[in-house]
Amino acid sequence: MERNKRCALLLVALMLLMPLSSAEKGELPDPEESDLDQFNQDIIDLLDRWDIPGAQLAVMHNGSLVYRQGFGMSDVESSTPVDNDSRFRVASLSKAVTSASILTLIQDGTLTLEDKMVDHIPHLMPNTIEGCDYPNHPENFSLQDVTISQLLNHRGGWNVSSDPTYWHWNTWHSRNDPCIDKDGLNQNYDHGNSAPLPMEMVLREWLRHPLNYEPGTQYVYSNIGYQILGQIIEQKSGMSYEAYAQEHVLAPMGITSMQIGMTMPNQRAAGEVLYYDYENDTSLCHFPSDVDDQGNPIFETAEDPYCGNFVIEEKDGGGGWIASASDYAKFIANLDGTLTSSAFNNSFEYFIGNPSAPAMGGYYGRGVYIASTETEVWNHNGAFSGSSTSFKRDVTDSGESVITVLLTNTRPSSWKEVDGKSWQSDRYSIIGKMMNVNYSNVSPIEDTVEPEEEVDDSTVSTAPRISMWPGKVNQHNENGTWMTDPDGRSGGHSSQDYPNDYGDRKIEYCQKFWPTTTQIQLQDYRETITFYTEGNQDAYTSTKDVYLCLNADGSEPVFDPVDNPPVDPNTQDDGLPATPDEGVDDESGYGDYTPGFGITSVLLMLAGTAILSRRRIQD
């Protein structure tokens, strides 16, 4: 879309929507006694000054949501407005989720802050290659010295001029760098036809390089450190990073809508906004679209927010989450101890912790930035092409916390100034006005519960299909109900170590339940599946690709599971709820128990399904 056209559409959208947007505010007995309306107007003016297509704001006071509002457009072309439940990429605000996950592993005794990084990432340690000094770099410090505490505080030793977590295949392939194993990359990724590199490989290649400074002696903001923390979470929990954070951090807080985002626009999660590069910049897509006559990958030009600049699903621990502003504000209120959950305790001191904190001034804590050594003011910014995010936490004179979260679906150019201010400066100044509000006269917003919709069984797909998460946890759909693989593992396990997990062997996985399957077919939609993983009582939700299982002639195979023991009606395991309505709130309910499966497997498989199939949105 041309810049002028987008601006015109945006101006019309803002004029129409801003006065009519469905804000939710705490009750204001007297407008003159509260400045919430003025704060709202300040935000509107900010977004108008900077030509922001869509945004979302939430304010939480003393653990209660007192204000939330969507502004402008989630999708400019279709004039779809941002609402209170729209979800945005939060970018580096994700680091606090990673830090919170590490805290749970510290408090259960799995980790300590002083643990050496290398002891928990054997799968990331690189091989030696000719021409690179690893592991014998000349410096008198090395990877062996880096601790988990230093990773959390951005003091791990990295100071890179170009962040490899963003690199395109062509960058890896073209760099004159003796510590990049180009031969290995070409062999493992078919000369780029299997690009992009997974984050594990990005980290393994970069860890072959020398550190830039002695760990613990400097503060240099680093995505590399938080991506490694995400890998440590997977290794120590035996779960995927996303699943662990959802089940052990977010679900206990009552937050169920946060998940790792996806790069391509036709893979957006339900309720996720579209993203717009401020300058309409494009780059080569990280995913190859075809192969040329010489067998080399073809990378087409793409918009920067959609595969032209990064791969968000690979940036999970450093910047991969999507969320609504109100859910993220609730998350921060749990970190500072205003709200409590079973996830962890005494969290305030952990998040402000930094053994190298200065005597005066601000510093980086553990996943959040501490604005001063008084430790009451927290903030963090996040940015991708197409995303700009920020939160601030402060306290009133009476000691009550105030948290404001602002999410937008574009990122204004860093060089641009309006009225003598940059976007970051202007935004920070406006968000700070949250402290001008007289919260003593503001009532909390009460959550409204929508009535349950009746499920029309005729619209539920009963096609035999699977959702494969290689090395993690797999699902198959039985007559419209998603089930978790009874033999699978809930975590980042390799198929070599756990052959029953099926890895990426989709046809074999189909054959486990539909033995006559000879082919699979990737569907042109994704499904959002709510389910349990091994040994956990908290459900979580994620949106994944779906594959149809088919016979050789294209017909649907008959369900006939193999190699499963008979049900013992006298056996009942602890763990997951024994009945469909015990401890589970799910609109779709459970499927019937399936004869032919052991009760342990059935209990692991039973899943509340909230299947929201949606057609892929064309670019």
Provide the pLDDT for residue 26.
54
Q: Please write the tens of the pLDDT for every residue from 89-143.
A: 999 999 999 999 999 999 999 999 999 999 999 999 999 999 999 999 999 999 9
Provide the pLDDT for residue 601.
34
Residue 351 pLDDT level (bands cut at 50, 70, 90): very high
Question: The CATH number of the domain where 3 resides is what?
Answer: 3.40.710.10
Distance CA 172, CA 209 (A): 14
Query: Is there a domain that residue 371 lies in?
Result: yes
Distance CA 381, CA 392 (A): 9
Name the nearest CA neighbour of 105 among 289, 243, 248, 210.
248
Residues 361, 489 share a domain: no
Beta carbons within 10 angstroms of residue 252's beta carbon? 16
Residues 518, 427 share a domain: no
Provide the pLDDT for residue 580.
29
Distance CA 121, CA 123 (A): 5
Angle at 98 between CA 283 and CA 111, to 5 degrees: 135
Q: How many CA atoms lie within 13 A of 228 on its CB side?
A: 32
- Mean pLDDT taken over the chain: 82
CA dihedral 355, 359, 360, 362 (to 10 degrees): 0
Distance CA 469, CA 462 (A): 21
Query: Is there a domain that residue 305 lies in?
Result: yes
Is residue 190 predicted with pLDDT exceeding 70?
A: yes
Which of 123-127, 177-181, 492-496 shows the lowest per-residue confidence on average (mean pLDDT)?
492-496
CA dihedral 85, 89, 93, 95 (to 10 degrees): 120
Q: Which of 446, 477, 504 is the last residue of a domain?
A: 446
Query: Is there a domain that residue 253 lies in?
Result: yes
**How far from 201 is each of 166, 237, 340, CA to CA, in Å?**
13, 20, 37
Residues 118, 26 share a domain: yes
The residue among 85 and 576 whose pLDDT is bigger is: 85
Residues 362, 485 share a domain: no
Helix ranges, 75-189 (H): 95-107, 148-152, 169-174, 182-188
Beta carbons within 10 angstroms of residue 428's beta carbon? 15
Residues 442, 337 share a domain: yes
- Residue-range definition of the domain harbouring residue 589: 460-615
Q: Which of 446, 475, 500 is the last residue of a domain?
A: 446
Residues 480, 436 share a domain: no
**How far from 147 is each of 108, 159, 230, 437, CA to CA, in Å?**
18, 16, 14, 42
Residues 480, 427 share a domain: no
Helix ranges, 294-373 (H): 316-319, 325-335, 347-351
The proportion of the chain whose per-residue pLDDT surpasses 70, expressed as a percent, equals: 77
Q: Average pLDDT for residues 367-387, to the nearest whole number?
A: 94
Residues 135, 33 share a domain: yes
Residue 502 pLDDT level (bands cut at 50, 70, 90): low
Distance CA 584, CA 347 (A): 28
Question: The CATH number of the domain where 575 resides is what?
Answer: 3.90.570.10
Residues 401, 359 share a domain: yes
Q: What is the SS3 assignment for 213? A: coil
Residue 570 pLDDT level (bands cut at 50, 70, 90): very low
Provide the pLDDT for residue 475.
77
Residues 299, 232 share a domain: yes
Q: Please write the tens of the pLDDT for every residue from 197-224.
A: 999 999 999 999 999 999 999 999 999 9
Provide the pLDDT for residue 603.
33
Query: Is there a domain that residue 454 lies in?
Result: no
The proportion of the chain whose per-residue pLDDT surpasses 90, expressed as a percent, equals: 65
Tell me: cis bond preceding 135? Omega within 30 of 0 counts.
Answer: yes
pTM comes to 0.74
Q: Please write the tens of the pLDDT for every residue from 236-270.
A: 999 999 999 999 999 999 999 999 999 999 999 99
Which of 29-43, 467-481, 533-547 shows the lowest per-residue confidence on average (mean pLDDT)?
533-547
Q: Which of 412, 446, 480 is the last residue of a domain?
A: 446
Beta carbons within 10 angstroms of residue 161's beta carbon? 5
Query: Is there a domain that residue 455 lies in?
Result: no
Residues 531, 433 share a domain: no
Torsion 455-459-462-464 (CA) sign: negative
Strands (E), 334-417: 363-364, 369-370, 378-384, 387-395, 401-408
Distance CA 472, CA 236 (A): 14
Provide the pLDDT for residue 563.
58
Q: Please write the tens of the pLDDT for every residue from 384-441.
A: 999 999 999 999 999 999 999 999 999 999 999 999 999 999 999 999 999 999 998 8
Query: Is there a domain that residue 453 lies in?
Result: no
Tokens encoding 458 = 């005729």
Residues 156, 54 share a domain: yes
Query: Is there a domain that residue 452 lies in?
Result: no
Query: Is there a domain that residue 451 lies in?
Result: no
Distance CA 430, CA 38 (A): 11
Distance CA 109, CA 103 (A): 10
Structural domain count, the chain: 2
Provide the pLDDT for residue 392.
98
Tokens encoding 357 = 């904190």
Distance CA 350, CA 275 (A): 34
